[in-house]
Chains A and B, each alone.
Chain A
Amino acid sequence: MIYGVGVKNKLVNLNSKISSFSVDAGTSYLRTGGPSFKSWVHRWLFSTNHKDIGTLYFIFSIWAGLMGTAFSVIIRMELAMPGKMLDDGQLYNLVVTAHGLVMIFFLVMPMMIGGFGNWLIPLMLKMPDMAFPRMNNLSFWLLPVSMLLLLGSAYVDGGAGTGWTVYPPLSSIGFHSGCAVDYVIFSLHVGGVSSILASINFVITTSLMRTGVMLILRSSMLAWCLGVTGFLLIVAMPVLAGGLTMLLSDRHFNTTFFDPMGLGDPILFIHLFWFFGHPEVYILILPAFGIISHVVKAGSSKLELFGKVPMLHAVTSIGFLGFIVWGHHMFTVGMNVDSRAYFSTVTFIIAIPTGVKVFSWIATLAGGYIKNWPMMYWAGGFLFLFTLGGLTGIILASASLDVVLHDTYYVVAHFHYVLSMGAVFAMFAGFHFWYPLLTGVGMNPLWSKSQFFSMFLGVNSTFFPQHFLGMSGMPRRVQDYPDTMHGFNMFSSWGSTLSLVSLFLFLFILWESMLSKRCLIFPMVRCSESEWGARGFPRKFHNESQNPYGMSFEGKNFRRWGVLKPYKAKGH
């Protein structure tokens, strides 16, 4: 990117955003004759603008990510030395639970779907806004409620020390008799409603709000990935809601879904939870795939992604296969050996479309002019480390090996490789790529690259030793461990400290970019990145006031359509 020299207040004055918005940013300024409390409330609490809502999601998720990181540092501090640091085992379990729930539901999902999705999908599809702008706002505002309920649960009645999987009977009334688990249940319910509404919005936007010539296989990768993610959410979230409702009724309304004394079965909960849980982890990673596709394409200076249509089909098949593999989280509950064989097989099959994607990304990089931008470092890190994490996933997919490795640190290492180095690296890559689009200023590239290296060292030091810990049998969610495992645990804790410091560096870089205001002059991306095709960044409040008009040549046919032809069925 080419940036202007940072002049104090002339080239881009972030404060002048307000005056340049005075006609745009909602009619509230017109009504109040200038910025006022009422116009602030109208703009930020009552918003129906996809950019503002995306910004809210970003702020919320960054805050939540810092909180989740804090929880993870507490965990690593506890595990740095043998013996107990925290007096209370329940508190440790609570920190583990909170770390998982916060990172999944309040960092990754809001940032990818709400942040990147809301900002970019209407820009990529050249549409005025999302399909349901008001519902978009509702999806956002339900998230602080959900987080409030979750954090509140930590302060009452000892907190919910159940792990993010909330299995009964530990989470039943007998063993967690206070209101903490009830708060967690409601928090997940509210978060689930937020996600379902947001995903309805995304599926409708990406599938129905496209120009006539933008056939569905011509959608941009991020739009497609978010559409599939939305579909996964619509189908899988209600299952979690149902399971949590059953848990709530078991706790308070004398039902016995999970209580053997009434012919119930705790394993039913495990089935229901992982029927949601496995699509959930694909929901976490599919938007990352979309982001990486864009970053890799732009960073290799290519006009198009290698094999885009197979990539789209790969995303769809990963989404579909994700529904039929949930049993690989339950290999040790006493399942039939034939069922275990089936789940192993189908889990192995998911590696195939994933491999198609990884090879296509590498092929996109091949022969291109690789830009020396921070986002490419993150994308390269993603490609390498996500593949490593996927390989450990293949090990775990084998039921025989999983019986030994289940609930050990090997599993922890696997999912942190794919999440903390897959999803999070993709988020960083996307953030570095699109930050000038969102704000019009640039982050210092040299410092960003050094932050990448320190984060890379940090997370790898944290999670690589955990493979060895898992293979030597260290179980998950334990507060203390045998002295022989001290070495790797200590190394892992040093790594987490390094990651924390890298995060501080990132916050500094973010702050400095706002301070120095090096404005963006030319986004040096090729013309096939439609979200960059505008004059002036940050983008204006409203998008274009007319629909795009597209033309395409398809062999002998020449199509020339505007927006989807009006639906002509009867009476609609």
Chain B
Amino acid sequence: MFFSVGRTGYQSLQHSAWPFEISLGVVGLASSIVMLLHGNMGIWVPMWYDEVSGMVIMFYFSIFILMHSIISWWMDMVFEGTFMGDYTSFERLNIRWGFKLFVLSEIFFFFFFFWAWFYSGIGEISVKFVGKWPPVGVKAIYPWRVPFLNLLLLVSSGMFSQASKWAVSCHSKELDTKKSGHYKFAALLSMMVSILLGLLFLWVQSEEYYWCSYTIADGVFGSSFYMLTGFHGMHVMVGLGFLLVCWFRLLWSHFSFRRSFLGLQNAIYYWHFVDVVWIFLFIFVYGWPHKLLTGVWLWTY
């Protein structure tokens, strides 16, 4: 990885094996999932105790390959950003906006799941003077208990992560070492609170899943509900992982020099995106079936 910043101010990247390895992992993952969905296709691998499903082995192996390549890639990025000092302001601009575009694509991913929710909710089959939303037999969750708690958890988590960003910004600019250390401690503390609140959200949500009266198989209401909240939960997990990595990088002083905390900033953008999706979920997925805000104007019953 030498000659890594050209005189152009952009990275002059050397060869990287990770894209190729990711593609190998992806092909293994896709094929193993398809075959697992169709009952292992009779591929049994003999072990000393019993036969093991071949596709499960392939699945875990592909996950391992993918995790190895993805984490190595991100590790390379961390090395390039910190130890090698590759990330000039030009490069940081690119990375920041590139990440925002990625979040935009995620927003549209959620957008269409919401579309499906509204289509089923106010569409011909379910409601137009024919049915009810939620469908008869489905007891909608009362929004002002658990979902509202989740809303408070995520919103406060977002606020704490923003606070940690401010602290890091001050920390990286402060010249007095003692004050700088105080800022770093504050950043670590608020980031840890943010992560803990996020973990609490996940725990509460999983409890709600456990106790919920309807399942994913309960018609289009259940399908859309669990798809929306399930994908949101997955994004919360990914966001928490990102925040956790940022916490450790903060601990190891990656954000303490060069006035650059790109990784932290991206993590917080992602976390805010997750938060905003939850707000929409709260209003339209939990609130609306309970006629929380709308009642009449969306032409529900």
Chain A contacts to B: CB under 8 angstroms: 26-28, 42-43, 45-48, 127-129, 131-135, 137-138, 140-142, 144-145, 148-149, 152, 178-179, 182-183, 186-187, 189-190, 196, 200-201, 203-204, 207-209, 234-239, 241-243, 245-246, 249-257, 260, 262-265, 268, 271-272, 275, 542, 544-547, 563-564, 566-567, 570-572
A242 to B227, CA, bound (A): 10
| A131 engages B94 (CB within 8 Å) | yes
From residue B262, how far is it (CB to closest CB) to chain A in Å? 7
For this complex, 11 residue pairs linking A to B, each with C-beta atoms less than 8 Å apart, are: A43-B15, A138-B22, A145-B30, A183-B31, A234-B104, A238-B109, A239-B111, A242-B113, A242-B116, A243-B112, A545-B7
Q: Please indicate the chain A residues that have their CB under 8 angstroms from the CB of B111 in the complex.
A: 238-239
A45 to B173, CA, bound (A): 42
From residue B221, how far is it (CB to closest CB) to chain A in Å? 7
- Complex: chain B residue closest to A272, CB-CB: B112
Q: Please indicate the chain A residues that have their CB under 8 angstroms from the CB of B94 in the complex.
A: 131-132, 204, 208-209
| B10 engages A127 (CB within 8 Å) | yes
| B262 engages A572 (CB within 8 Å) | yes
The digit string for B250-294, where 1 denotes a CB below 8 A from any CB of A, is 000000000111100100000000000000000000000000000
| A567 engages B93 (CB within 8 Å) | yes
A547 with B135, Cβ < 8 A, contacts A137-B16, A265-B125, A563-B90 known: no
| A263 engages B97 (CB within 8 Å) | no
| B98 engages A132 (CB within 8 Å) | yes
From residue A478, how far is it (CB to closest CB) to chain B in Å? 30
Q: Which of B94-152 contact A (CB under 8 A)?
A: 94, 96-98, 101-102, 104-106, 108-109, 111-113, 115-116, 119-120, 123-126, 131, 135
A137 with B26, Cβ < 8 A, contacts A46-B15, A127-B10, A546-B8 known: no
| The one of A138, A187, A203, A243 that contacts B101, using a Cβ cutoff of 8 Å | A203
| A134 engages B27 (CB within 8 Å) | no
- Complex: chain A residue closest to B41, CB-CB: A179
**B19 at the binding interface (Cβ < 8 Å):** yes
A128 to B226, CA, bound (A): 46
A178 with B135, Cβ < 8 A, contacts A135-B19, A145-B30 known: no
| B23 engages A142 (CB within 8 Å) | yes
Q: Please indicate the chain B residues that have their CB under 8 angstroms from the CB of A48 in the complex.
A: 13-16
A235 to B242, CA, bound (A): 24
| The one of B7, B89, B219, B227 that contacts A263, using a Cβ cutoff of 8 Å | B219
Instruction: With a 10 A CB-CB cut-off, give which of A149, A187, A189, A255 has the most chain B CB atoms.
Output: A255
A433 to B3, CA, bound (A): 34
Q: Please indicate the chain A residues that have their CB under 8 angstroms from the CB of B112 in the complex.
A: 238-239, 242-243, 272, 275
| A235 engages B108 (CB within 8 Å) | yes
**B18 at the binding interface (Cβ < 8 Å):** yes
| A571 engages B15 (CB within 8 Å) | no
The digit string for B26-60, where 1 denotes a CB below 8 A from any CB of A, is 11001101110110000000000000000000000
From residue B30, how far is it (CB to closest CB) to chain A in Å? 4
A-B contact number at CB 8 A? 228
| B31 engages A249 (CB within 8 Å) | no
- Complex: chain A residue closest to B30, CB-CB: A186
- Complex: chain A residue closest to B104, CB-CB: A234
| A249 engages B227 (CB within 8 Å) | yes
| The one of A204, A250, A264 that contacts B120, using a Cβ cutoff of 8 Å | A264
From residue A13, how far is it (CB to closest CB) to chain B in Å? 25
| B89 engages A566 (CB within 8 Å) | yes
Instruction: With a 10 A CB-CB cut-off, give which of A27, A148, A234, A242 has the most chain B CB atoms.
Output: A242
Chain B contacts to A: CB under 8 angstroms: 2-3, 6-20, 22-23, 26-27, 30-31, 33-35, 37-38, 73, 88-90, 92-94, 96-98, 101-102, 104-106, 108-109, 111-113, 115-116, 119-120, 123-126, 131, 135, 168-169, 172-173, 216-224, 226-227, 259-262, 265
Q: Please indicate the chain B residues that have their CB under 8 angstroms from the CB of A544 in the complex.
A: 8
| A27 engages B14 (CB within 8 Å) | yes
Q: Please indicate the chain A residues that have their CB under 8 angstroms from the CB of B14 in the complex.
A: 26-27, 48
- Complex: chain B residue closest to A142, CB-CB: B23
Instruction: With a 10 A CB-CB cut-off, give which of B94, B217, B218, B262 has the most chain A CB atoms.
Output: B94
From residue A65, how far is it (CB to closest CB) to chain B in Å? 21
Instruction: With a 10 A CB-CB cut-off, give which of B17, B105, B124 has the most chain A CB atoms.
Output: B105
| A571 engages B169 (CB within 8 Å) | yes
A91 to B182, CA, bound (A): 70
| A237 engages B105 (CB within 8 Å) | yes
Q: Please indicate the chain A residues that have their CB under 8 angstroms from the CB of B131 in the complex.
A: 263
A208 with B116, Cβ < 8 A, contacts A45-B20, A142-B26, A263-B131 known: no
A250 to B37, CA, bound (A): 12
| The one of B19, B93, B226 that contacts A138, using a Cβ cutoff of 8 Å | B19
Q: Please indicate the chain A residues that have their CB under 8 angstroms from the CB of B3 in the complex.
A: 27
Q: Please indicate the chain B residues that have their CB under 8 angstroms from the CB of A196 in the complex.
A: 102, 105
| A246 engages B8 (CB within 8 Å) | no
From residue B79, how far is it (CB to closest CB) to chain A in Å? 13
A179 with B227, Cβ < 8 A, contacts A26-B14, A128-B8 known: no
| B116 engages A246 (CB within 8 Å) | yes
| The one of B8, B101, B219, B222 that contacts A563, using a Cβ cutoff of 8 Å | B8
| The one of B22, B104, B109, B119 that contacts A268, using a Cβ cutoff of 8 Å | B119
From residue B301, how far is it (CB to closest CB) to chain A in Å? 14
Q: Please indicate the chain B residues that have their CB under 8 angstroms from the CB of A263 in the complex.
A: 120, 125-126, 131, 135, 219-221
Q: Please indicate the chain B residues that have their CB under 8 angstroms from the CB of A268 in the complex.
A: 116, 119-120, 123
| B125 engages A190 (CB within 8 Å) | no
- Complex: chain A residue closest to B226, CB-CB: A255
| A265 engages B216 (CB within 8 Å) | no
| A138 engages B223 (CB within 8 Å) | no
| A46 engages B16 (CB within 8 Å) | yes
